[in-house]
Each structure stands twice: as C-alpha cells, then as structure tokens.
Amino acid sequence: MHRILIATGLAMLTIGSAWAQSSERDVRLVLQITVDQLRADLIDRYASGFGEGGFKRLLDNGTFYVDAHHRHANTETVVGHTTLATGTDPAVHGMVANVWLDRASGSLIYNVEDADYPLLGEGGGVDAKSEIDPTQKLATTQGRSPRAIQSTTISDAISLSLGPEAKVFGVSVKDRGAITMAGHSGKAFWFSKSGGRMVTSSFYMKDYPEWVEAWNAKGVPASYANKSWELLAEPSTYLFGNADDMAWEVDFPGFGRTFPHPYGPADGKYFTTLLTLAPAGDEIILDFAKTLISAEKIGADEVTDYLSISFSSTDYVGHFFGPSSLESEDNLHRLDRTLADLLAYVDKTVGLDRTLIVLSADHGASEVPGYLNSLGIGGSYFKFDDVDKSEAIAALKKEFGVSKELVDKFFQPYLYLNRETIAQRNLDIAKVSRRVAEELSKFPGVAFAVSSHDLRAGAVARTPVTEAVLANFHEDRSGDIYIVFEPHWFVADFDGKSVAGSHGSPWPYDSHVPVIWMGPDIERGRVERRVATVDVAPTIAAYLRVRPPSGSRGRVMEEVTTSADD
C-alpha cells in the first residue's frame, strides 16, 4: 500500500478518520510506555530475571532500536518526556529543564505549574511530602497544565486528525510524566504523595469522573501499609546479589539500604513517598491505568485512542541506589512483571493485534561515583558552594569592580548571574557571562561552560557537545551559562537532599535509551542504526497516517512504517 501525502493540515483534518478506517490495519490503541531513567543497556543486562510476558514479549514480537539517543544536553524528566511527545528538541518545545528561572518575576518556575488551573479536590497541590522529588516542591502554586509546552504533541496530533472521538490520556506517578504526554488535548492523572490519591487539575475537567472517585476510595496505596519491598528471588540469582549494603547508597529514614525495605504504616510521615521509591509506585499506576482502560472504554471502537503510561520507580530507585545495585536489578524484574500484566490486560480488552506499542525512556542513568571508584574508574560529586567561595570568582568580582554576589543561583543545568548587580555597574552582560564561563571551565569536574550570549551569536565551535547544548537552548528560558560536567561528575545535592546517582548530561550513559516497537505488521528484530528520540513521535504519526506534531524535527523510523505498509 502506498502512502498518499496531503499538503495541507486542513485536508489532513478532513480525511483523517476516513484514512484510519480504510487502512488495512485496525489500530484501536496507541500505547506509549515511558520508563523513567531506563538506560538502554539495562534491558539486556538484567534480562535473566525477566519472565516471558513483559520485556521479552516486546522483544520477541517487535523491533528494538538498540542505539537510540536523546540529542539534547539536559537529560532530565520533563525534557525527555516532552521530546518523546513532540518529536522535537527543547529549543523548540521549550521545556528546557525541570525548573527554570523566570526573569520577569525573579522566581524559579516548575515546568508544569500553572496558577490558572488549580488541582481538583483534596489531597493534591504543592507536594510537601515529595521528599525524593524536590524539584516538585519548588512550585509556588497548586495549579498544573501543559500550557508551557510550545509544540503540539503526538497525542494532540491524533486528536486533531481523528477528532473528538479519539480518547487521549496520560498517567504517571509524576505530574510532568503524565501532563507532557497527554498534551494539550488529552486528560492527565498523576499521584499526589500528600493525599495518596490520583489527581488532575481544572485544565482537564471540572469534576472527577465517578470511576476516579471510586478508585481513590478503594485505597490501593493504603493496601501496602505495613508491608515491605522484598526480593523476588534468592540473592544468589542476582548479578548484584552480594551488594545489598553499599556505603554510597542513600539510607532514607525508615527505608534503609538493605532488603526488605519497609513501607511502614499508612499514616507514616513518608509512607506515600516510600511507595514511589519502590516497585509499588509502578504497580499503583498500573492498577489505575487498567481501571481507566475499562471505565473509559479505551480501544473499544474503530477510532484510534491514545494512552501514555509513564513508570517512575526506576528513576527514584536509580537516584537512591544507582543503576548497578541489587535494588535496581530487582526493581526492573518487578517492572517486567508489571509490563506483563499490562500487556495481558490490553490483549484481553483491546487486543494486542489492534495496538501499536512504543516503549522508551526520558533519559538514561549515571553510575554512582562510589561504585565507579571501586572499579578504579574516576567520578565524583560537584559542589557549587566551592564555586561561590573560590578564588576565581573573587578575582572576577575584583576585575569587574563588583562587591556583591556575581552569581545568583545554579539550577541544573544553568547558572544564573546577578543581573541587578551587573546592571548597577553598567557592565556588559555578554562579557561578564563569557568570562564567568571561561573560569568555570577551569574547575575540576567541569568539561564545558558556555554563555547563552555566545550560543545566540553562534560563537561556539560545532562539536557533539555544543550541538546538544544548542538543541537545549531556548531564547526565553535558558539561563546565562550552560554547564556540562565531566563524565561521571554531577551535582548530588538537590534542595538539601543528597542522591547517590543522577542524570542530566549529554554523555551516552544519560542519552542512551531503548526504543521498542510492537504492533500490527511490525517485524521482529534489532536495529543497530543510530536513531534519535525525536524520531518517535513522527514515526507514530506516519504509522497512523496522521499529521505530525507542529514542531516535529525527527525522521520516520523506516523499519516500523515500511513493514507496516508492505
């Protein structure tokens, strides 16, 4: 079957439904699965503990792109999710970081906060219990929406092309994991640690559907009270079975560094936080997603629906224990069971022969410096207190005749200068930022620092690193100086909380993610050709024969669409 190209969006909108109905493939559902902090190599590394129905089912029946990478520099959660959703770089979609500084107000902005759209009901909002997600605590409002995303998403494209009968949903523990994928036209639900409930905002609806209220009343999170995260199998069967108590792991109060990890009582101070620091978080999201599929009749008619499920536990476990740990290994084994349950349910309710599935990740993961050091490999933590107190910054202040602070703040990955001080001295901001970047580049652990003024002027050498930084550059939201740390160096302190492992660099361990496709007419195989995550959204669009997202810059993955058209 040959694809017919329609030149105008209006024509695409007019015949989108007819195209979907006349296709030889009866695709009732697009299921986009995103695993937070899943570095691509971990699938093969921990495969011996997988069953037959999860990852192996996808690999045995689908196409695995083994060399897929994010091409932006700041490999963080909201950046990666939005890139997968829009098919474009943060330079275009605008979500350059989990948090950025709004120069007009002088306040840090949490990516999906929106005061115009408060959360519905009780138990949501600024998450005071979000002890393992301090970026969320920086939000100054309870409101949430996707309005900061400056491109349409693949879910929006499906709505635009197929009309209002196409149902679109995004679900995650993290608000930013659900909202980015549901786009502007869908509905998003996420887990409130403060209330132990699945919540949404008034951007999406005026009242909760009865099935959501019933699910919350059922108390799925509370069912984990006084239970523990225990190993699935004997320690001797694990690659890291002898590494259950490592000095570099985070000893979170009441959770500990060794198995079993107790959740504590339902009214415990950190109970809901601990659920998300374990496979329980993914299991809760799966239960909610299954209820959503049934209640909303997802995939029940001939119009293609879209459901995004973002699983977050891998990220939290990676931050606290590192990807090379017994906890991470067991968590992926349990995620494999969760995926098997999801696929079996979709097969029963929709039919996998009528479902297009794509699984990827928002970013990879760094190894913990302590683990690397034990193997003779370098790596360390970078402390910005050392920058503020350094002789280099003191010399710069003297050079520019500045007595007040020259550096305002740092928040991954941007350093922000004190513009008020610079203006008072009538200094050239471009010159100051360039000089600060030059001095920062000399610090141990800093590989590269570049000012936004030089990026804007094109005054940088074109290298793989600068290309990644440019893909992250946004005129209104990027800070004054972008900092790239040396491989295996990162800032471990987040709002006073220390982590063991992290992510956020352009290095391969952070950019390398899986992309696995399974669906009607998609052949089994492993593709070693390098691809980019911006290719995912346009490939979904090409497969469905709908318009791509408005900012899409990726290329169609021909192995997926060619086999589908044969």
pLDDT, one tens digit per residue, over 347-356 is: 999 999 999 9
The 3 state secondary structure assigned to 87-99 is: CCCHHHHCCCCCE
Q: How many residues does the structure list for the chain? A: 566
Residues near 237 by beta carbon (within 8 Å), at least 6 away in sequence: 48, 49
Q: Which residue has the higher pLDDT, 16 or 174?
A: 174
**Pick from 371, 407, 381, 368: nearest CA to 486:** 381
**HSE-up (13 A, CA, CB side) for residue 218:** 13
Residue 147 confidence (pLDDT) above 80: yes
Q: What percentage of the chain carries pLDDT values higher than 70?
A: 92
State residue 281's pLDDT score.
98
Tell me the angle at which helices 154-162 and 9-22 cross, rounded to the nearest 10 degrees: 80
Residue 489 has pLDDT above 90, yes or no: yes
CB contact burial 358-374 (16+ within 10 A = b; e otherwise): bbbbbbbbbbbbbbbee
Report pLDDT digits (tens) over 208-223. Answer: 999 999 999 999 999 9
Look at residue 1 and tell me whether its pLDDT is greater than 50: no
Average pLDDT in the chain: 91
Q: In the structure, how many helices (H) and strands (E) does the chain have?
A: 23, 22
**Residue entry with tokens 């050498």:** 461
pLDDT at residue 459 greater than cutoff 90: yes
- CATH code: domain 9-302+314-371+506-511 is 3.40.720.10
List, for residues 29-59, the tens digit of each pLDDT value: 999 999 999 999 999 999 999 999 999 999 9
d(CA 208, CA 538): 32
Q: What pLDDT is attached to residue 195?
A: 86
Which run of H or E residues covers position 489? strand 489-490
DSSP 201: B
Confidence of residue 129 (pLDDT cuts 50, 70, 90): very low
Q: Which pLDDT belongs to residue 122?
A: 62
Report the pLDDT averaged over residues 441-464. Answer: 95
pLDDT reported for residue 387: 83
183 CB-near residues (< 8 Å, 6+ apart): 85, 146, 149, 152, 153, 154, 155, 156, 159, 168, 170
Question: Looking at residue 125, what is its pLDDT?
Answer: 46
Categorize the per-residue pLDDT at 140 as very low, low, confident or very high, splitting at 50, 70 and 90. Answer: confident
Q: Other CB atoms closer than 10 Å to residue 241's CB: what's the count?
A: 15
pLDDT in tens, 373-382: 999 999 999 9
Q: What is the pLDDT of residue 137?
A: 67
| Contact (CB, 8 A) for 288 and 280 | no
Q: Are 310 and 36 in contact (CB under 8 A)?
A: yes
Whether the pLDDT of residue 279 is over 80: the answer is yes
Q: Is the pLDDT of residue 20 over 90?
A: no
Supply the pLDDT for residue 393.
87
Largest CA distance in the chain: 72
Q: pLDDT: is 426 or 128 the higher one? A: 426
Percent of the chain predicted with pLDDT > 90:
83
Q: Is the pLDDT of residue 433 over 70?
A: yes
* pLDDT in the model for residue 116: 96
In angstroms, rounded to a whole number, what is the distance separating the alpha carbons of residues 238 and 252?
Answer: 23
Which architecture, in CATH terms, is 380-486? 2-Layer Sandwich (3.30)
What confidence tens digit (pLDDT) does each residue in 516-559 have? 999 999 999 999 999 999 999 999 999 999 999 999 999 999 99
The one-letter amino acid at 212: V
**Would you place residue 403 in the very low, low, confident or very high pLDDT band (cuts 50, 70, 90)?**
confident
- Mean pLDDT (whole number) for 437-456: 95
Angle CA 356–175–509, to nearest 5 = 70
Task: Identify the pLDDT of residue 25.
Answer: 76
Residue 95 vs residue 136, higher pLDDT: 95
Domain ranges of the chain: 9-302+314-371+506-511, 380-486
54-60, long-range: CB < 8 A, 24+ apart? 54/335, 54/336, 54/337, 54/338, 54/339, 54/340, 54/343, 55/336, 55/339, 56/336, 57/339, 57/340, 57/343, 57/518, 58/339, 58/343, 58/357, 58/359, 58/516, 58/518, 59/516, 59/524, 60/524
